[in-house]
Structure 1
Amino acid sequence: MSNSESPLTHTVGHNYGSTQSTSGTSQDGGAIGRRPNVPGFVANNAGMLYIISSQFFFASMNLSVKMLNSLEPPVHALEVIVVRMGITLICCVIYMIVTGVSDPIIGPKGVRTLLIIRGISGFLGLCGLYLSLQYLSVADATVLTFLTPLATAVAGCLLLKEGYSVTQGVAGVFSLLGVVLIARPPFLFNSMPAVIPDRYYLQEATPMQRLMAVGASMIGVVGATGAYTSIRAIGKRAHPMHVMTFFSLWCTVMASLGMVIFNIPVVYPRSWQWSLLLLMVGVFGFVAQTLLTLGLQRETVSRGSTGVYVQMLFAVVLERLIFGVVPSLLSVLGATIIMSSALCVVVGDHPVPLHDSFTHLIIS
């Protein structure tokens, strides 16, 4: 069933998928205006490749956040959000002003409500993740966030009238299995050692703190599901920087209000490592969000969200390169399952466009 039947995806006004004029032919499920020097595989799977690339930067950002939490005094999650999203907001606005994108602040007509929903739901998703990282390991927090693809697939079917193939369903289940093998949450693998050095876990979380962190993570899953679904519903009716501007604006405002309401003190940099880590969070988050937005605008949420599982693979690799952590046999097995599942989705399924011009490949 085509998602064009959903009123959420009804096209009104400018289509940012056709901002670059190229010649080409249109075929059902084919790329419009495909450049001759772009391989067909890349053009047909541009959205998934964007999403997979974004997961490297998300994994880098999560490790940076966890390292920030290990500093004394630790940086509260809301302060990290203010700094990170403030950097993103400034970058987005400057980009749109310099390149002449229309309506840089309020966004184009017809999708402003969806942009607001994207901003609020994105804040909930980000806040839930950062709060959970205060008392959970990166592995445990990541494995909980991987409930998002399953929830997003259901939301896409119900709200956007998107299809969900058997290949995507099987790949999703096997990918989740791979994530569990890599993360090895304690409630399933009590005897297995942690995959990140103990120096990043200076305080042992109490059962209540861990339960609160899990609850925060579940709120983050709900928020991320709303964010993914709204981005897909917006599609190419808004520039990617419009989507990111609303996201970063709402996150900055709501996190700032949260710090005032809950009387959370501002922690100022006391070392160059502090400043560097916070800058890394901002830069990695901006690049990751840009790539994710570009990808979700080109993919159905059920297919695109499957690529999110690759983040766990990047986390394992980064831990090996940066911290010298040697992955266990279970981690290698889980990584193999994740990569195989993602490859099956990319090769076996083809993206279903919201409307014809959505398969136009933008290279910027």
Structure 2
Amino acid sequence: MTERSMRPVQGAALLALSALLFSGMGVLVREASATVNNENIVFFRNIVGVFFFLPLLLSKGLRPFKTKRLKSHLLRTTYGLAAMYCFFYAIAHLPLADAMVFTYSAPVFTPIIAYFWLKEPLTKRMLAFSVLGLLGVILVAKPSDAIFGSLSLVGLAASLLAASAFVSIREMSNTEPAYRMVFYFALFSSLISAIPLLWAWQPLNQQQLILLCAAGLLAALAQIIMSRAYSLAPPGLIGPVAYLAIVFAGVFSFFLWDEVPDVASILGAVLIFTASTLAVLWRKH
């Protein structure tokens, strides 16, 4: 990406829009989870993503999606889908802003996982940033509260699984373009998440279907817009803007459910944001 092709302002604006859509998806999932089980929510989130690729499939055929790395795509799907189950469960049972914090804390664990998986260098400074972010995660998780802490373990699992998915994406990015990785994730996730419906399917009314389809639509749009944002400017330059999703989620939570993050959650989110931003800035140098 050349200096002339970079448009950081437009990229940051699109990334902020993606964060807004992603937090909106969280609101819809939270509303749907009051009457719909987690298995159905995850399936509809994924199947809507598949439909986004139908126009490309009809116009270009299967050729752009041919790959020799199906095993890598399946591994990425395993981590990502497991993270999705945990994340949606966290949304249903935790304050929305706290659930979002867990999702966006994945970069805290990514350097450590990449060190063991991809043998990427891990400097003392990068390790210090990860520890700082981990302290933030602990503050949000509140392990001293038995009930809240046990639910937060699901959110922590979502963070670790999402970080593993990010590393798996990095591992195959040398041969697989972004659209192909998104396509196989949507396809494999839909097929795998359909299996639990054999015993967990529930009849859905019109309102429930609208909520689930709308959540899947917002998630797909958020992904597309995020990809466009990173095509205009590198993640290292505009990446921290994505943390606006936590702010948006907090605003939605306050007006819809009168949820107000406590001091520990706010401090934890600040530590996670600070650690991730410092890690990005350090890598740029």
TM-score normalised by structure 1 residue count: 0.61
Cα root mean square deviation, aligned: 4.1
Corresponding residue number in structure 1 for 2:214:
280
> What SS class does the counterpart of residue 89 from structure 2 fall into?
helix
C-alpha contact (below 8 Å) 1:179/1:309 kept by paired residues = no
C-alpha contact (below 8 Å) 1:175/1:338 kept by paired residues = yes
C-alpha contact (below 8 Å) 2:240/2:277 kept by paired residues = no
Asked if residue 316 in structure 1 is aligned to residue 280 in structure 2, the reply is no
C-alpha contact (below 8 Å) 2:136/2:269 kept by paired residues = yes
C-alpha contact (below 8 Å) 1:172/1:306 kept by paired residues = no
Asked if residue 249 in structure 1 is aligned to residue 211 in structure 2, the reply is no
Deviation, 1:67, is 1.6
Q: Give the number of aligned pairs.
A: 281
Select the residue among 72, 82, 85 that pairs with 1:114: 72
For structure 1, which runs of at least 5 residues remain unmatched after alignment? 1-30, 191-206, 352-364
C-alpha contact (below 8 Å) 1:118/1:246 kept by paired residues = no
Asked if residue 67 in structure 1 is aligned to residue 1 in structure 2, the reply is no
The equivalences for 1:186-201 within 5 A come to: 186-188=142-144
One-letter amino acid of the structure 1 residue matched with residue 201 of structure 2: P
Select the residue among 196, 204, 225 that pairs with 1:258: 196
Provide, for residues 136-157 of structure 1, a one-character-per-residue CA deviation record: whole Å limited to 9, x for no partner: 3334544554663343222212
Asked if residue 128 in structure 1 is aligned to residue 56 in structure 2, the reply is no
Deviation, 1:257, is 0.9
Asked if residue 90 in structure 1 is aligned to residue 59 in structure 2, the reply is no
Q: 1:51 to 1:35 in 2, by over 3 A?
A: same
Corresponding residue number in structure 2 for 1:159:
117
Corresponding residue number in structure 2 for 1:148:
106
C-alpha contact (below 8 Å) 2:100/2:249 kept by paired residues = no
CA distance in structure 1 between the aligned counterparts of 2:267 and 2:22, rounded to whole angstroms = 22
Q: 1:313 to 1:164 in 2, by over 3 A?
A: farther
C-alpha contact (below 8 Å) 2:16/2:241 kept by paired residues = yes
CA distance in structure 1 between the aligned counterparts of 2:61 and 2:119, rounded to whole angstroms = 30
CA distance in structure 1 between the aligned counterparts of 2:168 and 2:221, rounded to whole angstroms = 19
One-letter amino acid of the structure 2 residue matched with residue 266 of structure 1: Q
Provide, for residues 263-305 of structure 1, a one-character-per-residue CA deviation record: whole Å limited to 9, x for no partner: 223231243xx34432331122113344666769x769xx999
C-alpha contact (below 8 Å) 1:149/1:305 kept by paired residues = no
Larger Rg computed on CA atoms: 1
CA distance in structure 2 between the aligned counterparts of 1:37 and 1:144, rounded to whole angstroms = 33
Deviation, 1:258, is 0.8
Select the residue among 268, 272, 278 that pairs with 2:204: 268
> What SS class does the counterpart of residue 85 from structure 1 fall into?
helix
Provide, for residues 226-247 of structure 1, a one-character-per-residue CA deviation record: whole Å limited to 9, x for no partner: 3211111121522322111211
TM-score normalised by structure 2 residue count: 0.75
Provide, for residues 304-328 of structure 1, a one-character-per-residue CA deviation record: whole Å limited to 9, x for no partner: 9988766434422443566665666
CA distance in structure 1 between the aligned counterparts of 2:124 and 2:62, rounded to whole angstroms = 41
For structure 2, which runs of at least 5 residues remain unmatched after alignment? none
Percent identity among equivalent residues? 18
Q: 1:123 to 1:214 in 2, by over 3 A?
A: same
Corresponding residue number in structure 2 for 1:229:
167
> What SS class does the counterpart of residue 93 from structure 2 fall into?
coil
> What SS class does the counterpart of residue 237 from structure 1 fall into?
coil
Deviation, 1:333, is 5.1
